[in-house]
Amino acid sequence: MEIDFDPYKKLSFKSYLQYDSPEAFVKILIVAVPQGVPAQTALHWSNGVLFRFANFQPTDSIVKEYVAGHLLWDHLDFAPMPQYAKQIQLPDNPLVTINVLNVSNHTLFGPLGKWIRENLMKKV
């Protein structure tokens, strides 16, 4: 059996939005969750950056790009979060839990966190 690791060579995204804080980011995520209703979701954290991304719908042309080593995202949301925390909860909505996955050692997300911090992040 042969095993091959062929990482993506390029990541592109078409738009992004920075939030001032993890709390501001989370407030937008939970805007549709009514008070008193439990909810849970997850975000990614890498090298001081909390983020999520939105993929394009898979089409033949998008899949061809993926196979060629070019990962395409539609949108990237992020916020500065210098210290990793496993969860984020807002005092005004304690039934909503945001789980945070530390992906700093991931082959794609690790370098992405550093790149966002160095190239996109405005100092707030």
| Strands of the chain, DSSP E | 10-18, 39-46, 49-55, 70-80, 87-90, 93-102
Classify the phi-psi angles of 122: left when phi > 0, otherwise alpha if psi is within -120 to 50, otherwise beta. Answer: beta
pLDDT given at position 124: 54
pLDDT given at position 7: 94
Q: What is the pLDDT along the chain (124 residues), one digit of tens a residue?
A: 999 999 999 999 999 999 999 999 999 988 877 777 777 789 999 999 999 999 999 999 999 999 999 999 999 999 999 999 999 988 888 888 899 999 999 999 999 999 999 999 986 5
pLDDT given at position 36: 74
pLDDT given at position 103: 98
Residue 72, C-beta contacts closer than 8 angstroms, at least 6 positions apart: 12, 13, 55, 56, 62, 65, 66
SS3 assignment, position 108: coil
Residue that has been written with the tokens 């997300």 in this structure = 109
Domain ranges for the chain:
10-119
The model's pTM is 0.90
Phi, psi of 79, rounded to the nearest 5 degrees:
-150, 150
Residue 93 has a CB neighbour count (10 Å cut-off) of 18
